[in-house]
Structure 1
Amino acid sequence: MSWLQVVVLSVVQGLTEFLPISSSGHLAITSRLFFSEDAGASFTAVSQLGTEAAVLVFFAKDIVRIVRAWFAGLFDRERRDVDYRMGWFVIIGTIPICVLGLLFKDVIRSGARNLWIVATALIVFALVIAAAEYFGRQTRHAEQLTFRDAVIVGFAQCLALIPGVSRSGATISAGLFLGIDRELAARFGFLLAIPAVLASGLFSLPDAFEPVKEGMSATGPQLLVSVVIAFAVGLAAIAWLLRFLVSHSMYWFVGYRIALGVIVMILLGTGVMSAT
């Protein structure tokens, strides 16, 4: 990989990881449109370590509070409050994507990154997000979350294994369908992503240096710079998105996803861009 490619893709990763527009889809599109070759799923997974570090920093107080409450509640029934339950929700909600990610890792790293699939996912899931925004009652809050909610949102997160879907788009949409308010759905989705993304990034680290299947190799300094850039840009993106969702709907992202999906299909159909 060239340094220009590393910098551009890291900025794209930081900007798109938390928005419901699919960071993996954007990385695949940007790679092929401007650099003629896909950087690969492993580079994407490693760069996500930067954006997940941004989550750890941004939600540091919440994470510490939840971890403390979880350990306290394990030994004292009287201290099993909302934060204690949230700890269990994150653990339970993480299991589906860990299992499916391991089972389908080879498909994720190769065939699923076809740009026809990415473009289709952008458009189709835009309609899912629109439906969630339209039908979501947003009447349920943190103290009303249940284990059933954690399982459903956890399985929704698995859809993010398909480039073009979006992890935040899937988890926020699932939360809205369950009646959870939009900001809480986003916060829960971010917390839920931490274990899965950190595990995926560390697991993919060796392959980012020497790809076994598809993708380009990167040096240690390039991967480090990628993580740092993704962290800085991602931290700003989280703060912006949470403020945005307080007073704006998800429809803004629906229009963007459909437009991008159509443009990619046109570029693919006219031969301007290669699907693989």
Structure 2
Amino acid sequence: MKLLRFGPKGYEKPGLLDAQGQVRDLSGVLPDLTSAHLGKASLDRLASLNPAQLPLVAEPGRMAPIVADIGKLICVGLNYSDHAAESGMAVPSEPVLFAKATSSIIGCNDPVVLPRDSVKSDWEVELGVVIGTRARYVEVEQALDYVAGYCVVNDLSEREYQLERGGQWDKGKGCDTFGPVGPWLVTADEVPDPQNLDMWLEVNGKRYQTGNTRTMVFTVAHLVSYISRFMTLNPGDVISTGTPPGVGLGQKPDPVYLRPGDRMALGIEGLGQQRQTVHAWDPALIDG
């Protein structure tokens, strides 16, 4: 099942994608897709619906963030060994964790707005893991039972802020619009093996990233278990699990960074695609 939210900011509605790739309106069943609807009982109820009996949305317009109340966006750094190498960093012995501010979260095709005076903004296609059941000190063997589903995340990063401004990654990761998620949440039953998903990213039609989740240093199950030992993972929290090689920082002979007018396209097998246009600093594009 592919769950989604659509509509302009402040007027989003819940929906699902039917087998023909059409959006169906769920607002007659639930007011919005929130963390309260990600548990097994709620997902089973939604899965029992006949999509053909739900209103067809001919023009869904904007695809909104997949859950209305994402509580935490926890990210994993250097989780692909070849990406660590291109970044000039060692493969970590334990997962590297950092957080993106929830104010960075946007719909999958919303404008990406560069921070004022940004010169080193970068891209990162990543597998997002959406928590469905509260997880606290869970074992690896049971960890995937706490996952509601998966999504595409673009972990945009301002490298100067991240690496040259005092050592805190959060500075370069949590900028407004730097967390596109979606287009939909694919429930875990449709992703039997999250460690075998092809992923890619292009900028202005040029392929920069091509990878597969099987090359992760730490698996999804390991990450859910590990993170649950440092904080409670609540329904609606999202874990962004790291990126394969090909980021702008790692380009040779010189890094390549995002500029206004650039167009990104990215996707993960079975989880959909995102498309974003990069804009210079303009708060109206963030708030509008």
- What TM-score bracket applies, with the shorter chain setting the length? under 0.3
TM-score normalised by the chain length of structure 2: 0.23
Structure showing the higher strand proportion among its residues: 2
Higher relative contact order (CA 8 A, sep 6+): 1
